[in-house]
Structure 1
Amino acid sequence: MMHPPLAVDEVDRFAAHRGDDAWLGDAWEKAQIVVCDPERERIDADEDGLRYYDAGTAPDGPRVYLGGEDPPVFAVFADLPEGLPGRWIKPTWAPRDLAVAVEAIGIGHWHATYRFHPTTGEPLSARMAGWELSGANGRPVFPRTDPAVIVLIDDGADRVLLAQHQRYGGQPKPAVAQNTIGASAQSTRSGRYACIAGFVEPGESAEAAVHREVAEEVGIRLDRLDYVSSQPWPYP
């Protein structure tokens, strides 16, 4: 089975520690800390991997315990300076850096977008080491993940079907499908070739989402689905 680069499990999350404030306080003093800017979907890193701080050098900001015991790993949410690359996670990073990055960016995006309770409208504050948000009424809100599917359509004759997404005048142009030899895609002046992809809708299985998205985007029916693998994706 294919192993996508972000499908790594290098940091034990130790969820039992999230409610132990005394343990978390001690862990912070010896932690490795990454800095994430959820508003800009960035994390402090360079080509070689993440930059780690300690308790004395990390900036002020909300913090989340990501996992680990030796050492513990935390993320701090703070503004990062202009000029740092956005959405920069390189598959050549060490697996541990990839695991920390996708967890930090994903939980950071949740904090940035869930500031008020979806039912009561109350402001939310963090509990459980950043893994739970609650208002004055005590009703908790937990992190959400939106599942999506990415599909490579193969005709059995060593050809794949990719969609050419074009934009003009700021408005999206309907997808145009083109047969392309090989799985590589190229940029053109009129757009980029890409696999069919989309979010799973409420009440829908992943398989049903594949059939629907393919029908909507390129107007064809599929004979068979083969599951390949899954991976986390921290960006909205």
Structure 2
Amino acid sequence: MSSFTSRLPLSRSAIDRDDVSRQRDDLLDELWADASTLVLPLHDGSAPLRTDGSLALVPPFPVDSSVLRVYLGRTLPDERDAGGTPVVAVVVDERTVPGVGEVEWVGLRAVGAALPARDAGIFTEALAMANWHATHRFSPRSGAPTTAARAGWVRIDPTDGKDLFPRTDAAIIVGVTDADDRLLLGANAMWAGKRYSLLAGFVEPGESLEAAVAREVHEESGLRVDQVTYLGSQPWPFPASLMVGFTARVAEGASTQPVPDGQEIIDLRWFSREELAASLDEIGLPGHASIARAIIEQWYGGPIEDGIEW
């Protein structure tokens, strides 16, 4: 793992996804009868966090047959676990769950960077799968209600029996610099102009990642870039993205005057490292769980202490 990738909180994982076991029709019932199985409850995108900063993984508890369960795999050995423990995510309608105890229900954005590697991987995988199920209740082919199968990793169209598999949307995110090594940051319209981040966007059909970088930067800022360099990637299950990180440089001879598109991006600013440090009491930066934060801090040369909390 590269030094940059090791800094991406949601790319960490300590679980064997165990694809082979998913093929057993009775797997979830078997695991539910096994007291050693660990269960992660999810409610409205949140999971229970214990006071020690770890996820509250509990033994199986009674659930209705209509409740969504997804087999996440088996743990790998770490300081808390000898490995091989099965883990299942379950989507619950309320936060009263047997065995959870005193917890705080939290979102992945808020705690992803602080979770142990195993918990970060489990939460990210569970949330991504729960979001996929929530948005694929009906077949795109026939419109008929679909049913979950293969331990939660497939939904089936009842009209033709065909499998529908989970999808991930590729998106690029890019740290754009100029000849003076200043970093370009933009304010999205939904942030009221007070939070600045990198330029990003979804990859379009028939488009390479590198072409998406050049297109998105030009669409959002009017700038032309080259020297597009891959850094690393991180899952971002909000609801189903894979953020692919790059750096790029304004092309030689091209204008360095950014022009926001006025719809998605309402302001664009170049920052030197000194200017960014001096602005932290005025602007917010991306959260510590995001790849955007990792790219900014790599350019900056180290961790950045937040001024405004977002």
* 1:157 paired to 2:203: no
Which residue is 2:271 aligned to?
none
Which residue is 1:65 aligned to?
71
* 1:105 paired to 2:105: no
Which residue is 2:153 aligned to?
131
Report the Cα offset of residue 23 of structure 1: 4.5
Cα 1:22–1:84 shift into 2, 3 Å: closer
1:34-79 C-alpha deviation (Å, 9 max, x unpaired): 0113xx32223356121111113x6552111000162100000112
- Asked if the contact 1:41/1:235 (under 8 Å) is kept, the reply is no
1:180-232 C-alpha deviation (Å, 9 max, x unpaired): xxxxxxx8x63321100111111111111111110011100002111111111
Q: How does 1:10-159 map to 2 (within 5 A)?
A: 10-28=14-32, 29=34, 30-37=36-43, 40-46=44-50, 48-56=53-61, 60=64, 61-68=67-74, 70-81=84-95, 84-87=105-108, 88-136=110-158, 137-159=160-182
SS at match of 1:191: coil
Letter in structure 2 aligned against 1:157: D
SS at match of 1:21: coil
SS at match of 1:116: coil
TM-score normalised over the length of structure 2: 0.64
| C-alpha distance in 2 between matches for 1:117 and 1:212 | 32
| C-alpha distance in 2 between matches for 1:160 and 1:114 | 39
Out of 202, 206, 213, the position equivalent to 2:205 is: 202
| C-alpha distance in 2 between matches for 1:24 and 1:220 | 52
Moved more, 140-149 or 85-94: 85-94
Out of 215, 220, 224, the position equivalent to 2:223 is: 220
SS at match of 1:55: coil
1:114-139 C-alpha deviation (Å, 9 max, x unpaired): 00110111110111001010122201
Letter in structure 2 aligned against 1:109: N
Cα 1:10–1:85 shift into 2, 3 Å: closer
| C-alpha distance in 1 between matches for 2:58 and 2:186 | 43
Which residue is 2:247 aligned to?
none
SS at match of 2:226: coil
SS at match of 1:64: strand
- Asked if the contact 2:173/2:201 (under 8 Å) is kept, the reply is yes
| C-alpha distance in 2 between matches for 1:11 and 1:54 | 18
| C-alpha distance in 2 between matches for 1:23 and 1:59 | 16
Cα 1:33–1:139 shift into 2, 3 Å: same
- Asked if the contact 2:70/2:153 (under 8 Å) is kept, the reply is yes
* Aligned structure 1 segments of 4 or more residues deviating by more than 6 angstroms: none
Letter in structure 2 aligned against 1:45: L
- Asked if the contact 1:44/1:80 (under 8 Å) is kept, the reply is no
- Asked if the contact 1:124/1:134 (under 8 Å) is kept, the reply is yes
- Asked if the contact 2:13/2:120 (under 8 Å) is kept, the reply is no
| C-alpha distance in 2 between matches for 1:231 and 1:164 | 22
| C-alpha distance in 2 between matches for 1:21 and 1:190 | 51
TM-score normalised over the length of structure 1: 0.82
| C-alpha distance in 1 between matches for 2:234 and 2:220 | 23
Which residue is 1:180 aligned to?
none
Letter in structure 2 aligned against 1:223: D
- Asked if the contact 1:89/1:101 (under 8 Å) is kept, the reply is no
Report the Cα offset of residue 8 of structure 1: 1.9
Q: Percent identity?
A: 38
| C-alpha distance in 2 between matches for 1:166 and 1:120 | 37
